[in-house]
């Protein structure tokens, strides 16, 4: 399955690069034109983002070692089985465009973990870094290949971090249609060096639509609605249910979240976002999440 999904991602990338048009953009897309709050942006930009997240109701945090490491024995995660957890995080994201079509980025979070059974903890979480390569763009659309690497800098024994490196190749899409903007993502998360038999690959996919309300007298206001999903291909989860430890397969678990929010443009180089997300499926990563962020283009 891993090789098939990787092939499905890399083949379109190669085709798009071989057929890339050489014309420049007639009208530059500015940072505020990307309206989504959860779907990664396909736009290659010099930008800095400061983001706050507050998530509640994480009932299987070590599922496929996607959020937490597997507990002992066998894993390096928190010592006690967990029934539920919340978290808050403040992350700083810096993206630098080395040329018109390529950027590198770094995302460093400070995580405040609030589990029910294990002790609360605050520490630097797993840092994310990577590169974006724009395969196609014109004045209204963009297709971008993104490679993201998750570095295990968080103390996994304290309920922060996975304890292993992960790679995440993906495709990001952007399309502007008059006052509407459509954005999408397809990402494939591959854990490396985690707990054998417990970790697993995860496909993430999302679609978001936002609308510029300037024509309605609300200059700089852009409401956005997004659907974001995760499908776990392998792995297991271990958790407390009714006070009893349980281990179950995560293969096939699918999580779908609805996200609603709005962006508010301060200038062509600055905007901020507030939004809320809720799980629509029985399987979930978190039940609810609140997000607020501010972005600067430079």
5 pLDDT higher than 70: no
pLDDT range class, residue 29, cuts 50, 70, 90: low
Mean pLDDT of 41-48: 96
**What pLDDT was estimated at residue 30?**
52
What percent of the chain shows pLDDT beyond 70? 89
Give CA angle at 275 (251, 295), nearest 5°. 105
8 A C-beta contact, residue 173 and residue 142: yes
Report the DSSP beta bridge partners of residue 293. 51, 273
Residues 6 or more apart in contact with residue 285 via CB below 8 angstroms: 58, 63, 66, 67, 230, 255, 257, 279
- The domain locations on the chain are 2-297
Termini Cα distance of the chain: 41
3 pLDDT higher than 90: no
Q: How, if at all, do strands 270-279 and 236-241 pair? A: unpaired
- Compare 4 and 158 and report the one with higher pLDDT: 158
| Token pair of 34 as six digits | 């990307």
69 pLDDT higher than 90: yes
Q: Is 64 left (phi over 0), alpha (psi -120 to 50) or beta?
A: left
| Domain 2-297 in CATH 2.40.160.40 | yes
- What letters, b where the CB count within 10 A reaches 16 and e where it falls short, cover 252-275? ebebbbebebbbbbeeeebbbbeb
pLDDT range class, residue 243, cuts 50, 70, 90: confident
Distance CA 284, CA 81 (A): 18
Mean pLDDT of 269-296: 97
């Amino acid at each position: 399955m891993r090789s098939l999904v990787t092939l499905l991602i890399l083949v379109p990338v190669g085709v798009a690069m071989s057929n890339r048009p050489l014309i420049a953009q007639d009208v530059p897309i500015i940072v505020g034109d990307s309206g989504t709050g959860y779907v990664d942006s396909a736009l290659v930009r010099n930008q800095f983002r400061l983001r706050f997240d507050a998530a509640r109701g994480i009932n299987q945090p070590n599922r496929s070692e996607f959020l937490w490491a597997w507990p002992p024995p066998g894993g390096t995660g928190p010592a006690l089985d967990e029934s539920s957890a919340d978290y808050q995080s403040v992350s700083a994201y810096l993206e630098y465009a080395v040329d018109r079509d390529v950027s590198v980025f770094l995302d460093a979070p400070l995580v405040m973990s609030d589990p029910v059974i294990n002790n609360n903890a605050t520490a630097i979480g797993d840092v994310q870094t990577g590169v974006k390569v724009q395969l196609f763009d014109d004045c209204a659309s963009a297709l971008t290949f993104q490679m993201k690497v998750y570095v295990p800098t968080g103390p996994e024994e304290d309920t922060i971090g996975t304890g292993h490196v992960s790679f995440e190749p993906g495709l990001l899409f952007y399309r502007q249609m008059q006052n509407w903007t459509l954005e999408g993502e397809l990402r494939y998360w591959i854990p490396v060096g985690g707990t054998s038999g417990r970790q697993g690959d995860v496909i993430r996919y999302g679609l978001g639509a936002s609308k510029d309300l300037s024509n309605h007298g609300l200059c700089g206001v852009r409401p956005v609605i997004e659907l974001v999903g995760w499908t776990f291909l392998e792995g297991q989860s271990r958790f407390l249910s009714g006070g009893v430890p349980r281990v179950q397969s995560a293969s096939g678990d699918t999580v779908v979240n609805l996200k609603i929010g709005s962006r508010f443009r301060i200038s062509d180089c600055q905007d901020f976002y507030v939004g809320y997300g809720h799980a629509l499926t029985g399987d979930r990563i978190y039940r609810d999440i609140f997000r607020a962020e501010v972005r600067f283009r430079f």
